[in-house]
Structure 1
Amino acid sequence: MASETKVVNLAEEAKLAREGVTTPSYAFTTICKSLVAGGVAGGVSRTAVAPLERLKILLQVQNPHSIKYNGTIQGLKYIWRTEGFRGLFKGNGTNCARIVPNSAVKFFSYEQASKGILHLYRKQTGNEDAQLTPLLRLGAGACAGIIAMSATYPMDMVRGRITVQTEKSPYQYRGMFHALSTVLREEGPRALYKGWLPSVIGVIPYVGLNFAVYESLKDWLIKSNPLGLVQDSELSVTTRLACGAAAGTIGQTVAYPLDVIRRRMQMVGWNHAASVVAGDGRGKVPLEYTGMVDAFRKTVRYEGFGALYKGLVPNSVKVVPSIAIAFVTYEVVKDILGVEIRISD
């Protein structure tokens, strides 16, 4: 008698996965769902704070001798008055085109890096029940951040330029692909990676701390259950949002100076940007940077140490809800899609 074909549905495959037996189709489906969840999390979180994201970049690169944006509320009002509602979201389409794949790759890379690091850690200690420590989570988050940043950096570079341009700019990028082709033609392929080094250095503490603080806070709350926040071994959405907010605040404060330097290096070579200028005794001249260290030195020399934190206030207001929304959206979407494993698992 011919052997019967065994049909394994998704529910049975999920059961097998929990028991340690993973079929190829289940593994592929899980990967796709994880990437979709990460992409949705990135798009939702960034769109929610797009006006603050644009203001942050404008504050970072504005001419210190011609101040237009003088704070969060004033800056948002100025954009609304001069460019209207659409001005608040300028560059957001390009930002989402970058952040959706970036977020998808970042969350997925963190999951894979966590599994690999945990496997090595258990093998080294000989303890099969060992769990990730905050330091190991920091390492996994750093790996995820570097991979995601490198994969999508050209889009981040042109997104910065599109965000900075105004209606009065002599030259206009019409969109992400037009900006990419223009930069390639006029400045060469290396221009697409201007500021990559400070970005990678900055992403290590930023993304690393985001994941480490978020996951460690959740673990601590579940184990200690202060104020009765845990119900049925689960944290509420509000509590998880608070964990994400704390993670985002710590990560962005540590890495913010590198973000300022990255953005300024990205503007070098673009004659129509609102270039940062400095007095050199002979007048005001546009600043040019030979590298990351030179950019740090000139920024502090001409504008003071505080210039490294230009735009920190709107960035803080933006990062707190953005990171929180991203983490919680990721977990909620994975629950909706029926993925069994969360990032903390």
Structure 2
Amino acid sequence: MASEDVKTSGEAAVSTIVNLAEEAKLASEGVKTQGPAFLSICKSLVAGGVAGGVSRTAVAPLERLKILLQVQNPHSIKYNGTIQGLKYIWRTEGFRGLFKGNGTNCARIVPNSAVKFFSYEEASKGILWFYRRQTGNDDAQLSPLLRLGAGACAGIIAMSATYPMDMVRGRLTVQTDKSPHQYRGIVHALSTVLKEEGPRALYKGWLPSVIGVVPYVGLNFAVYESLKDWLLKSNTFNLVENNELSVTTRLACGAAAGTVGQTVAYPLDVIRRRMQMVGWKDAASVVTGDGRGKAPLEYTGMVDAFRKTVRYEGFGALYKGLVPNSVKVVPSIAIAFVTYEMVKDVLGVEMRISD
């Protein structure tokens, strides 16, 4: 009886040792695989950040003019069109005026772009995995609608994470040398808004941003990826070389994606920008709440901002700044997508967004 107990105990001990050894082996393999995975994540984030910084700096003058057109008082017009607006900024503020707020914009867009591209890749993987499980088809691919969903998720995550920087960037962009109150930079603007208007002020206009980012970022990714996929599979225009699309073709796909996305979401961008200016009494040439230049700018919410804008300025006010934004967004989105893929190639990351 005792010998049987000893035998049983010995077998249990051997089994435990074997199990522990197997677990240790799996853990060591996990550490080995986590290293390259972590490095790949870092490379993906770097590629997304570089893409955002390069694309936004390239179109910084148009970005500033767009914001100035969105919020200017219709009874005190200084900026009347793209060419005239750029000339006016150059004449009154010089070369540096064209890039005012770009430092803040890059400080926001670099992490925003990094998180956005990475979130899109991760959301795409998760959605594809869930879709394959639901359909039972292990070879299923992302449809344009599923890409739209992944892009929407990425846009909401990235925008929410960096929204205070966007709000501050808007104010730094609008102020001029003649503004009574001057923000000296990003940190000073953040601290001033927190002290004078409270923490909630940093998220003014967040709701229209969330609503707007779904069609904007979602359509950007969905149109870009679907166009690329269609061109690679059909080769309709003989644009495929060595199973790859040229940089020019990818730029064209990015341009089409940017045009579709920004046209659908632009009115929400105008409302967001106007809501961000609420509470800032020293903004230069900013539209007033009643449209007559007498009452201070004040909106009770997104719906109220829409209502007042259309009532006092007409439906066309929702598309103020669309021309410079269209000129800006086409190369901006195109450059961002192509730069992202090129940087990932340079860094040696095998997986790209279209994979």
TM-score tier, shorter chain, comes to over 0.9
Q: Which runs of 4+ in 1 moved over 4 A?
A: 278-281
| 8 Å Cα contact 2:290/2:308 also seen in 1 | no
Q: 1:287: Cα distance to partner?
A: 3.0
What's the counterpart of residue 88 of structure 2?
78
Q: Which residue of 1 aligns with 2:36?
A: 26
- Whole-angstrom distance in 2 between the partners of 1:75 and 1:258: 22
**1:53 corresponds to which of 42, 55, 63:** 63
The aligned residue for residue 124 of structure 1 is 134
List per-residue Cα deviations over 1:219-239 (Å, max 9, x = no partner).
Answer: 000011122100111000000
Residue 23 of structure 1 aligns to a residue whose secondary structure is: helix
* TM-superposition CA deviations, 1:123-166 (whole Å, max 9, x none): 00000000000000000000000000000000000000000000
Partner of 2:343: 333
Aligned-pair RMSD on alpha carbons? 1.6
TM-superposed CA distance for 1:331, in Å, is 0.1
1:89 partnered with 2:99: yes
* Residues 1:190 and 2:225 aligned together: no
CA–CA separation in structure 2 for the residues paired with 1:316 and 1:279: 28
**3-state DSSP class of the match of 1:228?**
coil
1:74-128 deviation digits (Å, cap 9, x = unpaired): 0000000000000000000000000000000000000000000000000000000
Count of matched residue pairs = 326
Which residue identity is paired with 1:254? V
SS at match of 2:295: strand
Identical columns (%): 88
Letter in 2 for 1:276: V
Alpha-carbon separation, structure 2, partners of 1:22 and 1:193: 41
Equivalent AA in structure 1 for residue 60 of structure 2: A
Q: Which amino acid aligns with 1:293?
A: V
Q: Describe the SS at the equivalent of 2:300.
A: coil
Q: Which has the larger radius of gyration?
A: 2
> So what's the TM-score if we normalise by structure 1?
0.93
**Structure 2: gaps of 5 or more residues:** 1-30
Going from structure 1 to structure 2, the CA distance change for 1:99 and 1:279 (only over 3 Å counts) comes to closer
After TM superposition, the structure 1 = structure 2 runs for residues 281-292 of structure 1, keeping only pairs within 5 Å, are: 284-292=294-302
Q: Is the Cα–Cα contact under 8 Å of residues 143 and 204 in structure 1 kept in the other structure? A: yes
Look up the equivalent residue of 2:321 and give its one-letter code: G
* Structure 2 equivalent of residue 152 of structure 1: 162
Q: Distance in 2 between matches of 1:279 and 1:217?
A: 44
Q: 1:109 to 1:278 in 2, by over 3 A?
A: closer
Contact 1:275 1:286 in 2 (8 A): no
Residue 287 (structure 2) pairs with residue 276 (structure 1): yes
Q: Partner of 1:267 in structure 2?
A: 277
**Structure 1 Cα separation of the partners of residues 90 and 178 of structure 2:** 15
How do 1:1-345 and structure 2 match up within 5 A?
23-273=33-283, 274-277=285-288, 284-345=294-355
Q: Aligned letter for 2:93? A: E
Secondary structure at the aligned position of 2:237 is classed as: helix
Shift of 1:285: 1.8
Aligned in 2, Cα 1:279/1:298: closer, same or farther, shift over 3 Å? closer
TM-score (norm 2): 0.90
